[in-house]
């Protein structure tokens, strides 16, 4: 059974990411399953810190991208917005080059709170970072002019 409320393609996700930080960091959505979303990110000049290692903030940006997009795709976008309220990350393995892959899966899909776990791995499927994000599901506010 699928968790997704909205129908979407990976191309849709890339299209809405143009001219955003997602685009700038080279994040690409690569797979969706019935209960997960995957994206890759290069370890290159955009995502490393001065010592040449994958920047922890870049890993967190990948994790927040996956968790936030996943959360949004699980709700009725005409009625709700999803906003991050907390994120944490444990950086477990250094990376100097190549790509990392993030896989986001929900731990809790509540009416008002969602919690997602994002596992970021290297090409050998070794864990580089594990992150958890808490998302608030809030009713859309009526816009006034």
Q: What is the pLDDT of residue 145?
A: 62
Mean pLDDT, residues 68-91 taken together = 97
Q: Where residue 1 falls among pLDDT bands split at 50, 70, 90?
A: confident
**3-class SS at 111?**
coil
Confidence of residue 130 (pLDDT cuts 50, 70, 90): very high
Determine which one of 31, 64, 117, 139 is catalytic.
64
Mean pLDDT over 93-114 rounds to 98
Is 79 in a helix, a strand, or coil? coil
**Both tokens assigned to 19:** 């001219």
pLDDT tens digits along 3-45 = 999 899 999 999 999 999 999 999 999 999 999 999 999 999 9
Residue 130 and residue 100 in contact, taking contact as beta carbons nearer than 8 Å: no
Partner residues linked to 129 by β-bridges: 91, 120
pLDDT band at 144 (very low <50, low <70, confident <90, very high): low
Please tell me the distance from the alpha carbon of residue 130 to that of residue 135, in angstroms, as a whole number: 17
pLDDT at 19: 96
pLDDT tens-place string over residues 49-75: 999 999 999 999 999 999 999 999 999
Distance CA 24, CA 132 (A): 23
Verify whether residue 31 is a known catalytic residue.
Answer: no
Helix (H) / strand (E) containing 64: helix 56-72
Structural domains present in the chain: 10-139 (3.10.129.10)
Q: Which two tokens stand for residue 39?
A: 């994206």
């Amino acid at each position: 059974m699928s968790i997704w409320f909205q129908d979407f393609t990976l191309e849709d996700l890339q299209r809405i990411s143009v001219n955003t930080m997602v685009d700038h960091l080279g994040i690409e959505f690569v797979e969706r399953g019935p209960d997960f979303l995957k994206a890759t990110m290069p370890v290159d000049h955009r995502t490393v810190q001065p010592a040449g290692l994958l920047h922890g903030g870049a890993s967190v940006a990948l994790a927040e991208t996956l968790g936030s997009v996943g959360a949004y795709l699980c709700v009725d976008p005409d009625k709700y917005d999803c906003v991050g309220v907390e994120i944490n990350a444990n950086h477990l393995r250094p990376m100097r080059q190549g790509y990392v892959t993030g896989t986001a899966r929900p731990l809790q899909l509540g009416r008002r709170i969602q919690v997602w776990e994002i596992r970021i791995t290297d090409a050998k499927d070794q864990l580089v970072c594990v992150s958890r994000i808490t998302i608030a599901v809030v009713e859309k506010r009526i816009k006034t002019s």
